[in-house]
Amino acid sequence: MVSLQYPWPETPPPGETIAVGPGIHWLSMPLPFQLDHINLWLLEDDPGSEAGWTVVDTGIGDALTRGLWQKLFERFQPVKRVILTHYHPDHAGNADWICRRFGVELWTTQGEYLTAHAVRASGAGYTSDAVLSVFKKNGLPAEKTASMAAVRGNNRYCALVPEFPFSYRRIIEGDIVRIGAHDWKAIIGHGHAPEHLSLYCEELNVVIAGDMLLSTISTNVSVWSIDPEGDPLRLFLESIARYRELPPDVLVLPSHGRPFRGAHVRVRQLEEHHEARFGELKKALQDEPRSAGELLGLLFRRPLDTHQTFFAMGEAIAHLHYLYYAGQAHRAIGRDGVMRYASA
């Protein structure tokens, strides 16, 4: 089995790129979060008579990121299309801006395209109030609920994704996307986002993994208000297992962390990470029924700010839902309206 290998020791500085394969450039854009940058990709493309570039993911839609793109466009133009792995703002924030600038199409999956519009419109349950209602039911303390409401009262997604295209080219599971001289196969994953797109090129032995298979951290997998009874962690674990179908030495291009080889090893590491969390939860639930809010300290052994608590709460619920649907935990709503879980 191929061990984990990181061919490039340093992330390219903002505004610069590193060639990681024939016609494949790695770039990074800053983020205003603890996770302080995202990896993006430029693929050499030549549909028609004029050579150009395909952009894969775009960064958040702020002036700093767009200024860095302007610098890159001095070297990498024209853009022939924009491909999104998923709708999250660090991926989708400049999709419309780049598409309009070059008069090109957005390519993505239907689930990601429609979700971006629903979140921008605060429709279909994508509101802060709806999320906080789910968190309150799952035991988030009142003071944390209040502080989260104050911070997330406005539509933050719109601030980071100021515009989004009104049409797109749909990609579905198994589609072959021809980019330049190479074919890239669409692999659709679930759990982190509705229909997360990864692209695998057999000829180059490269997979653009987005957020599905990260090199050093675990992907956020959360229960949200749009699907409050969902089991996203099961979907995620089933999805990453499919990376075992790729060659062990495939070069993985993740959205966070450094490119790496050793996908099979990394999948097993992530499976073991979640198995350990399940074991800790089952042990904790043997003593007395507990809610997701009461278990945050067990799952996240560090201080959490409001932004981090938002994602941690969704993850805690996801872990408990996994145990419940797997028959390894019982649950019931108490007189206080809070859902609590106990070991089966």
Cα 162 from Cα 94, distance rounded (Å): 8
pLDDT at 282 over 70: yes
Mean pLDDT over residues 113-119, rounded? Answer: 97
Mean pLDDT confidence for 268-293: 96
Q: Residue 21: its pLDDT value, please? A: 96
From 163, 168, 199, 164, select the one nearest 184 (Cα to Cα).
199
Q: Between vectors from CA 343 to CA 341 and to CA 344, what angle results, nearest 5°? A: 110
Q: Give the C-alpha separation, 297 to 303, whole Å.
A: 9
Range in 11-20, 44-53, 136-145 with the lowest mean pLDDT = 44-53
> Does the pLDDT of residue 101 top 70, yes or no?
yes
- Map tokens 């295209």 to a residue: 165
Helices (H) and strands (E) in the chain, counts: 11, 15
**pLDDT above 70 (res 105):** yes
Q: Contact, 213 vs 256, CB < 8 A? A: no
H or E element at residue 311: helix 306-325
Handedness of CA 169, 173, 178, 181 (dihedral sign): positive
Range 273-285 average pLDDT: 96
Q: Residue 233 and residue 239: Cα distance in Å, rounded? A: 10
pLDDT of residue 1 exceeding 80: no
Alpha-carbon distance of 192 to 185, in angstroms, equals 20
Handedness of CA 274, 279, 281, 282 (dihedral sign): positive
Residue 335: the pLDDT is 95
48, pLDDT greater than 90? no
Residues whose CB falls within 8 Å of the CB of residue 8, separated by 6 or more in sequence, listed in order: 18, 20, 26, 258, 259
Range 211-239 average pLDDT: 97
Looking at residue 128, its pLDDT comes to: 86
* Interval 281-293 mean pLDDT: 95
Lowest mean pLDDT among 45-54, 113-122, 131-140, 271-280: 45-54
- Other Cβ atoms within 10 Å of 323 Cβ, number: 21
Flag whether pLDDT at 49 surpasses 70.
no
Looking at the chain, the whole-number percentage of residues with pLDDT higher than 70 is: 98
Q: Quick one: pLDDT at residue 306? A: 83
DSSP 245: G
pLDDT per residue as tens digits for the range 143-156: 888 877 776 656 88
Read off φ and ψ for residue 147, nearest 5 degrees.
-65, -35
Question: 327 exposed, middle or buried (CB, 10 Å; 0-12, 13-18, 19+)?
Answer: exposed
| 99 has a pLDDT exceeding 70 | yes
In the chain, the amino acid numbered 312 is A
C-alpha–C-alpha distance, residues 119 and 116, integer Å: 5
Percent residues over pLDDT 90 in the chain:
86
What pairing do the DSSP bridges indicate for beta strands 105-108 and 169-170? parallel
Geometric angle at alpha carbon 291, from 315 and 146, rounded to 5°: 75
Residue type, 222: S
Find how far residue 95's CA is from the centre of its chain.
16
- pLDDT for 305 equals 85
**CA dist., res. 17 & res. 12, Å (int):** 6
**Helix or strand run (H / E) with residue 335:** none
Distance (Å, whole) CA 83 – CA 70: 18
Q: Above 90 in pLDDT, residue 199?
A: yes
* pLDDT for position 47: 55
Burial class of 122 by CB neighbour count within 10 A (0 to 12, 13 to 18, 19+): middle
Position 51 scores a pLDDT of: 83
